[in-house]
Amino acid sequence: MKPRLVVIGSLNMDMVIQSPRIPMPGETILGAGDLKMIPGGKGANQAYGAARLGADVSMVGRVGDDSFGERLIQNLNQANVDTKHIIHDPDAATGIALIVVDESGQNSIVVSSGANGQLSPEDVNRGENAIRAANILLLQLEVPLDAVLQGAKLAKHHGVATILNPAPAQPLPGELLAMIDYLIPNESETAILSGHETNTDEEIKQAAAALRVSGIKTTIMTMGSRGALLITETEFCHFPAFPIDPVDTTAAGDAFVASFAVAMAEGKSIHEAIRFGNAAGALACTQFGAQPSLPDRRALERLMQTG
């Protein structure tokens, strides 16, 4: 039986320019190549990525009543994501992300939330039946916090596991953290949420301990080219990254989260799921753009066998 996931989150049209480097404040530089418009948004990326790996995925979100919104939904439909809980907002434009990608594959991103910022608890409630039937609920922070909190409440009520990817980072209420089963931040997000630096193993352990006080029992900290850390009260385990030559790191974190969620929903161990996530994140860095870079099952399993 296929794993069933629900994603509550954002849908953005990514406006991407390649550049020799990220501009300095006040600086204008010439880009390399034409502007590209690529489907993105953390929520949509994770939904698309999970569907590409074979999961049954439903998404809850908002787009504008415009051509960008239609294109984003069509792209999800092509990956067999159930989009019936994505609302067309007549009063707000579809979200936009402005992305500059440098020659090393690193990026700088500014997001205009648009319709994503109008997602409400009532919108989330419309997806309750899908949440009830899911193995895992995926949450991020590119939509209003009250919608995220309502999703966590519904998942808790129906005994559904929750994953929170706390990006973009912001202080979070203890009520939300206490309902999260797996927290997947990067290093800077871990520091912001915990109030502790994350430069050394000891600092990371202190940060995770602070998060445990808030109710987070399992933290999986992603570290880009250095892999990921699993941190619980009894375990501190490093999982190295798969070596690749990066082209564009956009959506690498979303690839990790989606792949980890699919593996956990399939009944794999948390160690296996993290390695699954590392492989997906690596593959996402080898292709340009967000959703076009998210790997399918065959590519993922091939890397895990050979990498």
Residues with a catalytic annotation lie at 254
Q: Which helix (H) or strand (E) holds 274?
A: helix 270-284
Contact 249, 105 (CB under 8 A): yes
Q: Are strands 56-64 and 136-139 parallel, antiparallel or unpaired?
A: unpaired
- C-alpha 257/C-alpha 161 separation (Å) is 14
Residue in 132, 4, 155, 143 with CA at minimum distance from that of residue 61: 143
Q: Using alpha carbons only, how large is the chain's radius of gyration in Å?
A: 18
Q: Count other C-beta atoms under 10 Å from residue 27's C-beta.
A: 8
The answer to whether the beta carbons of residues 301 and 267 sit under 8 Å apart is: no
221 neighbors 228 (Cβ within 8 angstroms): yes
Q: Strand 56-64 and strand 82-89: pairing? A: parallel
Select from 127, 68, 49, 116 the least CA-distant residue to 297. 49
Whole-angstrom distance, CA of residue 244 vs CA of residue 292: 17
CB atoms within 10 A of CB 156: 16
Angstrom distance (rounded) from CA 60 to CA 140? 12
What's CA 206's distance to the chain center, in Å? 25
